[in-house]
Structure 1
């Protein structure tokens, strides 16, 4: 009887130790780890006892907060883009912005450019420092991309470049987004870079052909 109690006590202590040293992982990472353990067991790199020990230390999250944070940041970015689109499409709101906010070159061009540069540097710093901030850095990069577009749009307006310079502005924005996307490892900015190239090609072709093919 004492031997049985001693064995049960050892097993209880072992389970308590494994729970205290549990490795919290997402469901996707749990599948990757289990596949790796299965391959190691099949190759004889670990024993069945070691496999069960490693397997019991896995503690998947009941809910993936990382995925939720990505959805929230994407939704916030879409709301920000929609609000700017509403302002740009409303004549009265746009007149108010030009009359009370974008009254000088500084507020129209330089401030959006400085804000976008600051956001880019902040997002790159966050991604190099902590990979868990990918959702926040993605939102920051998206906001910086919007500010870049506003700065280039206002540059063409203040310099009175006309509609013919639209292709150049789109290409410039694409180059900026591509460079930042390369250093920040951002799929969003790479998507904007490729999209701007397609739009630039279409606009430039339209100008060269006199829009006769459209």
Structure 2
């Protein structure tokens, strides 16, 4: 086995044991130093290029067919159904040839094609209600089952995107706004959904030690989806407060309400960051740091930019962001040097 790949697998296992509480941070660090990692994961970059390349190729093919081939809705439904089935078959066949990542990508494209089939069928059998979120819910349930049946984490990632769009679309549809974020009855609904997703992800993570061992890594998708939805909800709540249906003038929250939600947002981001550092969970660290920075810049532009003037505000924001990047890069270089000295 390639040494870099072996060391990466060992580090992934160590991170998983640390999150499960099976080892402490000292043991994690000592063992991890025995299996150094390369500074740049070219394999990971190649997998992302492969995924985006396959999606771009499929999009280009669809555009070509749209321009040069005339389809009726029925013909289009049959064609997309055949494409969906073919992609799933190819996706199951390729791993047997040693092309596991390419097979996973084919299954992901099959999931996207399935969504297209549902919308075409929706147009054929439309009753005029315009309830498009119902189609996404059907797709979500089907793809969620397939994600676990096929053991495909990319398909589960697509499910998280579908949930985000369905939940917002459904809430907006019910409110009568025909809108997305700003059409929901309460932004707190998304925050509640985020809590449920994170809780499900935490339970999933625990079960990946034994019962769900073959689905290791799936918990990250659940947790990531919950964190993104929750952080975005808190962002809106910090800006506008918790508002009901808007039927006229824009809702202006009291300063106390906005201060409360800003405090809650900061507390959540700091908690996520603390758990990430303690458990060596890089994804949590990324979410915590990213949304703390977003909150600081949001407060700057909403509270100080108008007073300072937009020119000065942009210069301050840009300069501070560059300083932040330089500082983080400097710290990364120091950690790299320290690790090199320890290994030497």
Sort the TM-score into its range (normalised by shorter chain): 0.5 to 0.7
Shift of the 137–69 alpha-carbon distance from structure 1 to 2, 3 Å rule, reads farther
1:211 match: secondary structure: coil
By how many angstroms is 1:104 displaced? Answer: 4.9
Q: Which residue of 2 aligns with 1:19?
A: none
- Answer yes or no: is the 8 Å Cα contact 1:115–1:144 preserved in 2: yes
Q: Which residue of 2 aligns with 1:117?
A: 85
Q: Which residue of 2 aligns with 1:102?
A: 71
Structure whose alpha-carbon radius of gyration is higher: 1
Rounded to whole Å, the distance in 2 between the matches of 1:195 and 1:64 is 26
By how many angstroms is 1:190 displaced? Answer: 0.3
1:182-201 aligned at under 5 Å gives the runs 182-201=148-167
Q: Which has the higher contact order (CA 8 A, sep 6+)?
A: 1
By how many angstroms is 1:69 displaced? Answer: 4.6
1:165 match: secondary structure: coil
Aligned length: 156
- Answer yes or no: is the 8 Å Cα contact 1:138–1:188 preserved in 2: yes
By how many angstroms is 1:152 displaced? Answer: 1.2
Shift of the 126–179 alpha-carbon distance from structure 1 to 2, 3 Å rule, reads farther
Q: Is 1:147 aligned to 2:103, yes or no?
A: no
2:104 is aligned, of 132, 138, 158, to: 138
Unaligned runs of 5+ in 2: 12-39, 184-344
Q: Is 1:126 aligned to 2:94, yes or no?
A: yes
By how many angstroms is 1:30 displaced? Answer: 4.1
1:65-76 aligned at under 5 Å gives the runs 66-67=43-44, 69-76=46-53
Shift of the 69–174 alpha-carbon distance from structure 1 to 2, 3 Å rule, reads same
2:132 match: secondary structure: helix
Rounded to whole Å, the distance in 2 between the matches of 1:206 and 1:31 is 43
2:71 match: secondary structure: coil
- TM-score for both structures, normalised by structure 2: 0.38
Rounded to whole Å, the distance in 1 between the matches of 2:163 and 2:146 is 15
Shift of the 28–188 alpha-carbon distance from structure 1 to 2, 3 Å rule, reads same
- TM-score for both structures, normalised by structure 1: 0.58
1:47-62 aligned at under 5 Å gives the runs none
Rounded to whole Å, the distance in 1 between the matches of 2:9 and 2:153 is 23
Q: Which residue of 2 aligns with 1:29?
A: 6
Shift of the 26–158 alpha-carbon distance from structure 1 to 2, 3 Å rule, reads farther
Q: Which residue of 1 aligns with 2:54?
A: 77
Rounded to whole Å, the distance in 1 between the matches of 2:154 and 2:132 is 22
Unaligned runs of 5+ in 1: 1-23, 35-62, 88-92
Shift of the 68–170 alpha-carbon distance from structure 1 to 2, 3 Å rule, reads same
